[in-house]
């Protein structure tokens, strides 16, 4: 039985909407945790230091060593929750592409994981980013492809051509 669903895509690609829809259509309760959960849990000072996470005016995201330390602990914690019996959907942005996936693979180990790529044309994601008004402009376009570089998926969905609920149903059909 699938224990963890890792949903990876760039900013404004539609991941969070898909995750909410997944929680609605899956028959059992699933916890939704994501990179935004981690960033929100960090002290504000981590968003203004070289060691934390920085969002440049052009949308570039820079990750420092203090962030990586906390991220590693968080990934281990999410994995431990899954081992303890919680079903978890991870809403992620693999800024490091394949190396980001490897960090999760190592922590998730023997757990049954469904790896899902959320694709979205960079122009569509950029338009969503502007419409949302709560993101650094440029982040969506800069992340649209880099987050998928070298990443292996069990399934991919494209939110430029399908609504969140349709994507969620496609994903849910693969959950065993």
> Active-site residue numbers?
36
Whether 125 and 13 have beta carbons less than 8 Å apart is answered as yes
The alpha helices in 27-121, defined as continuous H runs, are: 35-41, 65-83, 98-108
Structure tokens at 172: 């849910």
Closest residue by Cα to residue 171 from 32, 34, 2, 33 = 2
Is the distance from CB of 108 to CB of 82 less than 8 angstroms? yes
């Amino acid at each position: 039985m699938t224990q963890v669903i890792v949903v990876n895509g760039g900013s404004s690609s539609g991941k969070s909407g898909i995750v909410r829809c997944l929680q609605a259509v899956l028959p059992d309760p699933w916890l939704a945790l994501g990179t935004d959960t981690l960033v929100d849990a960090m002290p504000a000072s981590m968003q203004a230091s070289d060691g934390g996470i920085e969002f440049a005016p052009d949308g570039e995201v820079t990750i420092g060593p203090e962030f990586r330390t906390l991220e590693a602990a968080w990934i281990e914690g999410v994995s431990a929750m899954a081992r303890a019996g919680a079903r978890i959907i991870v809403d992620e942005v693999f800024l490091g592409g394949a190396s980001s996936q490897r960090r999760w693979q190592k922590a998730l180990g023997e757990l049954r994981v469904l790896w899902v790529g959320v694709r979205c044309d960079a122009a569509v994601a950029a338009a969503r980013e502007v419409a949302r008004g709560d993101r650094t402009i440029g982040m969506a376009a800069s992340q649209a492809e880099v987050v998928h570089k070298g990443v292996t998926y069990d399934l991919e969905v494209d939110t430029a051509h399908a609504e969140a609920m349709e994507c969620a149903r496609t994903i849910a059909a693969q959950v065993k």
